[in-house]
Amino acid sequence: MLDHETVNKLRYMKLTGIAEALKEQHDDDAYQEMGFRDRFALLVDREFCKRQHGRLQRLINGAKFENPTACVEDIRYDDDRKLDRSFILELASCSYIRHARNVVIVGPTGAGNYANREIMQSCGRSSFEIPDNPSEDFA
């Protein structure tokens, strides 16, 4: 039987990922065959992933993107757009931030804002802080 006192303590300590995974392990007999270390590693992984996801969501929501679901992977590289896929992916890797470099996007009106949103989201996924209003800071 799952000790409700333990689950309540986990939730009180804000370890909800572990609490959810522990309940899942309790309800599924397949986990009973696993050793303590393996099961514990799964609990810690769940908590870690839940916290990383929450942090990313807070960064994206705090940046107030026009389209919070936009991402570099969804960019269309049609011939008429004349986009260099390798260059866009290099920007998305955020290596320019690690090397303290600036990026200037030149093109038709609005092209920079669109690319900026996509790149800022990839930076957030790479654990970089996203400014509160990136379109103003980088326009």
Let me know how long the chain is: 139
What's this model's pTM, rounded to 2 decimal places?
A: 0.64
The predicted model gives 67-96 an average pLDDT of 82
Please give the mean pLDDT across all residues of the chain.
Answer: 82
The predicted model gives 31-35 an average pLDDT of 92
Report the pLDDT value the prediction gives residue 139, as an integer from 0 to 100: 47
Residue 78: strand, helix, or coil: coil
More confident of the two residues 111 and 107: 107
What is the phi-psi region of residue 51: left when phi exceeds 0, alpha when psi lies from -120 to 50, beta otherwise?
Answer: alpha
**Cβ-contact 117, 67 below 8 angstroms:** yes
